[in-house]
Amino acid sequence: MADSLIVRIGLALAIGLVVGVVRGWQQRDDPDGGRTAGIRTYALAGLLGGVGAAISQVLAEPLLLGTVFIVFGAVFGWFSYREVSHEKTFSVTGTIAAFVVFGVGALAVIGDPVVAAAAGIATAGLLASREVLHSFLERLSWQELRSALLLLAMTAIVLPILPSSAISAFDALSLREIWFLTVLTATISFAGYVAVKILGHARGTLVTSVAGGLVSSTAVTIDFARRANSGEKIGLLAAGAMIAGIVSILRVLVIVFIVAPALLPQIASSALLAVLALGIFALVQWKWRKTTDPSNIVLRNPFDLQPLAVFAITLMATSLLSGWLAAKYGTGGIILSSAAVALVDVDVAVLTASRFSQSVVGAAGAANAILLALAVNALARIVYAIAIGPGAFSVRLAVATLAAVLAGAAPLIIAARSNVI
């Protein structure tokens, strides 16, 4: 017990020290004694919160911790008031940070130390991001703020109240799933917009490709195709769409490893060859990308409702088609439905096939269904790119995708010929 208490109090001290380092570095030009709190004060604030929590816990007096906090807040607040009065400023960030450090220090002792550590790091990171956040706020337009608020409303208000049960005759349609994927598409679009603004065009596109590919390479392709129409770098966006495709394939391998690991050997060679092909083309596009004057790039509306509505309707129709195929054709319908669902979302197809790998279709059938879903999803991305993006973007993505599909099909063709011989 004593060892655990020492570690927790040490964590409380460390949290205050980290926050103090950040605040001290930001005020490093101030003379000694010219500020209310620095490294030592914030470290002691965290330690005070931890010790106060420990004593109140030992004495079984919760009010004691509250009393210590009130006294601490009054003393610190008085010195902060004198500082801002002397400097004629209105910043209360340092005072709030000290209160947070005290509270997190107490949480480290009487609560979850992992949560306390995470809160402390988040506090330090938020304080260290002052210049970045202020710079972004200066460039933030009303359109961007409205997009963020609308996205939050779609996620926090609408999504929880939608029914999660299937409502179609084929048990294949869920309003919550459709809305979730629609919100997901909007989130990727908005995140990409923000990433480009903060990190620059090249780095922001790369971050969006990797992060977006973790959830929906189709949404990334649609987003990048629209951005290519706005005058952004086509080669860079094409490379980003290819990278999203790579991440999507690797994500599928992880899903199969978790859900049906016995299928992994049957799909790994084809999937990895497809990844290699996409990687080569993405590297070529990334290195040969043409530079574009950033002033000529017109960033589009990050939250356009019309494409999102089209996406939702397409997903609804695809879900109905999948349910109809499964109900009408049984075993064969599962493979057909996997291909149909993959037109929009490959994860659903992979999970469906993996679930039936030990019953209806068997391991070989499930593996074929997964590989077919990957191929259909990749080809669907070409169609979306042609329908939405400019020709230069679509051609580059189509060549890389077809090469990846052929590379993935090579092991299957070789195996089929070996069986014939």
Is residue 292's pLDDT more than 50? Answer: no
What average pLDDT does this structure show over 236-241?
85
Distance, CA of 241 to CA of 220 (rounded, Å): 6
**pLDDT confidence of residue 160:** 72
Identify the residue with better confidence: 378 or 159: 378
**pLDDT confidence of residue 291:** 45
Which one, of 146, 104, 82, 90, lies nearest residue 14 by Cα?
104
For helices 113-128 and 93-110, the axis angle rounded to 10 degrees is 160
Task: Tell me which DSSP letter residue 304 carries.
Answer: -
**pLDDT confidence of residue 295:** 41
Q: Which helix (H) or strand (E) holds 133?
A: helix 130-139
Identify the residue with better confidence: 6 or 184: 6
Is residue 396's pLDDT more than 50? Answer: yes
Amino acid at 310: V
**pLDDT confidence of residue 293:** 41
Could you tell me the two tokens for 4?
Answer: 């655990």
Distance, CA of 388 to CA of 28 (rounded, Å): 52
Q: How confident is the model at residue 214 (pLDDT cuts 50, 70, 90)?
A: low
Q: Residue 372 in contact with residue 352, Cβ under 8 Å?
A: no
Which one, of 1, 5, 91, 89, lies nearest residue 47 by Cα?
5
Distance, CA of 122 to CA of 100 (rounded, Å): 11
Is residue 24's pLDDT more than 60? Answer: yes
Residues 6+ apart with CB under 8 A from 421: none
Which one, of 207, 206, 215, 205, lies nearest residue 254 by Cα?
215
**pLDDT confidence of residue 222:** 82
Is residue 195's pLDDT more than 80? Answer: no
Q: Residue 216 in contact with residue 185, Cβ under 8 Å?
A: yes
Which one, of 75, 73, 53, 74, lies nearest residue 63 by Cα?
53
Is residue 253's pLDDT more than 90? Answer: no
Distance, CA of 374 to CA of 412 (rounded, Å): 14
**pLDDT confidence of residue 380:** 85
**pLDDT confidence of residue 151:** 67
The position carrying tokens 């005058």 is: 231
Q: How confident is the model at residue 402 (pLDDT cuts 50, 70, 90)?
A: very high
Provide the mean pLDDT of the chain: 75
What average pLDDT does this structure show over 353-381?
72
Identify the residue with better confidence: 118 or 327: 118
CA atoms within 13 A on the CB side of 108: 33
Which one, of 216, 231, 379, lies nearest residue 292 by Cα?
231
**pLDDT confidence of residue 228:** 82
For helices 234-259 and 362-388, the axis angle rounded to 10 degrees is 160
Distance, CA of 149 to CA of 144 (rounded, Å): 9
